[in-house]
Amino acid sequence: MRTSLCDQLGIEHPIFGFTPSEHVAAAISRAGGLGVLGCVRFNDAEDLDRALTWMDDNTDGKPYGVDIVMPATVPKEGTQVDLAELIPQSHKEFVQQTLLKLGVPPLPDGEGGEGVLGWLHSVARSHVDIALEHPIRLIANALGSPPTDVIERVHAAGVPVAALAGKAEHARRHVQNGVDIVVAQGYEAGGHTGEVATMVLVPEIVDAVDVPVLAAGGIGSGRQAAAAMALGASGVWMGSYWLTTAEYTQSPLTQKALLAATSSDTVRTRIYTGKPARLLKTRWTEAWSAPGAPEPLPMPLQNLLVSEAHLRIARSDDPSVVSMPVGQVVGRMNEVRPVADVMADLLREFGETVERLTKLSR
C-alpha cells in the first residue's frame, strides 16, 4: 500500500491517524503510518510543547504531524469572558438542568476549568507556533484552509498543509489557497462532517483537485482502506478507530461507551462546537434533540457553553452520557487492541482484498 505520499512524507504506509493522544499518535508513526496529534485540547501552549517533545523522544525518528482547528477567516473573538456574555441565560439553564436530570455530578470544590479553548483562533495560532518548533511533517486543519498567512508560514518551514473538505467546491478553494493535501471527509466520519458520503465525495474531490486526496469517514479495516484507494484516494485518514486502541488511555469511560456502540449509535449535531459534527449518540445528545431543547449556538459560543458540562461528564462514571465525536465505524470498534495490531491487520486485509479483486476481475 504505497503511494507518492509515502515518499513525500517519509512514511511506510499512507495511513494517517488523527488522535487527541500523543501515545496513540506516536504508536501510529512507529507502526509506519503518520500519527497526527490533535491540538485542540491544549489550552496552554506549554502543554502542547511538552507533548510534542515527548513524541520527539518516542517516535524512533519516524515522521508525525499535528491537527489544528482554525477557520479561514479570523473571527472577532475577544476574550473568553467577553464571549461568555454572548451566551443566552436560557441556554446556560438548559445545560444545568440537563446535567441534573442526567445525574452528572458537579465538579469537586475548587475545580473549575476553562474548558477547551483550542477552538479560539488565537489559541490555534499558538499551536502552529509551537508545532513549527518541532520536526513535524504535516499540519492539518480540521476546518478547511487556514488563513493564507498561516499557510505561507508553514510552507516556509518546509511543512505541507492538509485541510478537511466535505464538498468538492471547498476542496477546490482550499487548493487555491495553497493547501497541499485534501482530506475528503464523508458524512459517516466522526467530528465535523458534511452531508455527502465517502463513496460519493472521494471520487468527486479526486476529480476536482490536482493534489493528493485522503479518504476519511467509515474506514477501520483493510476492506474499507482498499475501497478508499479504489475511489482514487492517495491514502486514508482514520480518526475514530484509534479510540479503542490500548494506547488510548485518556478516557476509559469513553472507551467503554464506544466498545458497546453500533454503527447506528451516532448522530450528526451542532451541539459540540456549533458546526455539524458526528458524535456518539448518548443521553446527552438525545437531551439536545428532545422537544423544547434550544438550538445550538454558533461556533465558538456553543463549545464555551458546554465546556464545563464536558468536564463534568468526563469526570462522571456513566458511559450513557459521554460527549464524544466518533464516526459510524464505531460499530466495528468492539475490542481494545494495540495500535501495532490494528495497523498490521489493516495492512494484511488490504492485501487480501486487492488479491480478491484481482481474481474477480479476470
Q: Name the residues that contact a second copy, by CB under 8 A.
A: 1-3, 167-168, 186-188, 194-201, 203-204, 217-219, 221, 223-224, 226-232, 262-264, 327-329, 331-332, 350-351, 353-354, 357-358, 360-362
Kindly state the smallest distance separating residue 23's Cβ from a second copy, in Å: 27
Are residues 11 and 32 in contact, defined by beta-carbon separation less than 8 angstroms? yes
Nearer to a second copy, 18 or 119 (CB): 18
Q: How far is the CB of 341 from a second copy (least distance, A)?
A: 19
Residue among 17, 47, 49 nearest 32 (CA):
17
Nearest-approach distance from CB 174 to a second copy, in angstroms: 17
Nearer to a second copy by C-beta: 22 or 188? 188
**Contact criterion met (CB below 8 Å) for 199 and 231:** yes
Smallest distance from the beta carbon of 327 to a second copy, in angstroms? 8
Write down the least CB distance from residue 16 to a second copy, Å. Answer: 16
Q: Are 310 and 323 in contact (CB under 8 A)?
A: yes
User: Which CB sits closer to a second copy, 193 or 323?
Assistant: 193
- R_g of the chain computed on alpha carbons: 20
Contact 171, 165 (CB under 8 A): yes
Specify burial of residue 354 (Cβ count, 10 A radius: 0-12, 13-18, 19+).
Answer: middle
**β-strand partners of 36:** 18, 65
> Which residue, 101 or 348, is less far from a second copy as judged by CB?
348
Residue 231: all three cell numbers together = 475511489
Q: Which is nearer to a second copy, 306 or 326 (CB)?
A: 326
Q: Which residues contact 100 (CB under 8 A, 6 or more apart)?
A: none
Nearest approach in angstroms of CB 14 to a second copy is 9
Torsion sign, CA atoms 129, 65, 322, 217: positive
Of 40 and 226, the one with the shorter C-beta distance to a second copy is 226
- Asked if residues 308 and 113 have their Cβ atoms less than 8 Å apart, the reply is yes
Residue 249 vs 262, nearer CB to a second copy? 262
Closest alpha carbon to 116 in 249, 238, 274? 274
* Min CB(212)–a second copy separation in Å: 13
Q: Please, are residues 147 and 70 in contact by the beta-carbon 8 Å criterion?
A: yes
Helix/strand/coil percent split, the chain, to 5: 45, 15, 40
Q: Closest separation between CB of residue 220 and a second copy, Å?
A: 8
Residue 226 or 305: the one with the smaller Cβ distance to a second copy is: 226
